[in-house]
Structure 1
């Protein structure tokens, strides 16, 4: 029975870490957004910063909570009901994570390379033709 209590404690610790990450992350995301607003005086930029940073925090929290559910299910007495509950929880959290990732990036993961790839290549090509001041010997 010591093992069961140990793994229940571990599962509870994962849950506390997941919820704490979201709570602390929310405060940090607000701080980052306020700092962005102070620097740019743009509400749109501050709001986008808040959405992106808090979205990332929620994704992290969801991943930790899925780990807690996995520990809880793997260490409990095996039953079909527990397995189905875990599958449903993981499915719901995966859909939430997927939709949050699309919301943060503004594009589906399989289309991300099509959207960001040309920009990265264009910046690389633009920078490749220019010599850096250190390379050319100018201060």
Structure 2
């Protein structure tokens, strides 16, 4: 089929984008944590900034890789490919959840029970604003 090489190229491009997202995220995390350390925010704040930013870039990279896997499976659909994709998605979902829990320090459903949606958004905005300083 003529579309298979096209799908392979598209998957390679998307996977490259995923790698770039993770690498750029690491660089941004290093810059932000260094800035926090130089401003006198303390080692704890710099570490928290580093950890949160790296976690976010890994999460975004995982999402991009899942998209590449879905496109790869669509290029030559078979039951075996679908099963492998399902397993990959399950593993990456578990990884994403554990990273998200690690970043936020609480379970997603627990956070939703403890705070309203507006408070969650406000906390995210203030966290991003303090990380950007």
When normalised by structure 2's length, the TM-score is 0.83
Structure 2 portions without partners, runs of 5+: 123-133
Instruction: Tell me what 2:40 maps to.
Output: 40
Task: Name the counterpart of 2:59.
Answer: 59
Whole-angstrom CA distance in 1 between matches of 2:7 and 2:99:
30
Equivalent-residue separation in structure 2 for 1:5 and 1:115 (angstroms): 50
TM-score by length of 1: 0.80
Moved more, 64-73 or 81-90: 81-90
Mapped to 1, the partners of 2:30 and 2:2 lie a distance apart of 42
Q: CA deviation at 1:87?
A: 0.8
Larger radius of gyration: 1
Distance 2:112 2:22 in 1: 29
Distance 1:10 1:116 in 2: 41
Deviations 1:12-60 (A, max 9, x none): 1110000111011101111001011111340010000100011000000
| Gap regions ≥5 residues in structure 1 | 124-139
Distance (whole Å) between structure 2 residues aligned to residue 86 and residue 113 of structure 1:
30
**Which residue of the partner structure matches residue 90 of structure 1?**
89
Q: Larger relative contact order (C-alpha < 8 A, sep ≥ 6)? A: 2
Aligned to 1:4: 4
**57-66 or 38-47, larger mean C-alpha shift:** 38-47
Kindly tell me the number of residue pairs found equivalent between the two proteins.
Answer: 121
RMSD of Structure 2 on Structure 1 (CA): 2.1
Structure 1 runs of 4+ with >2 Å offset: 113-117
Q: Any idea what SS the aligned residue of 1:40 has?
A: coil
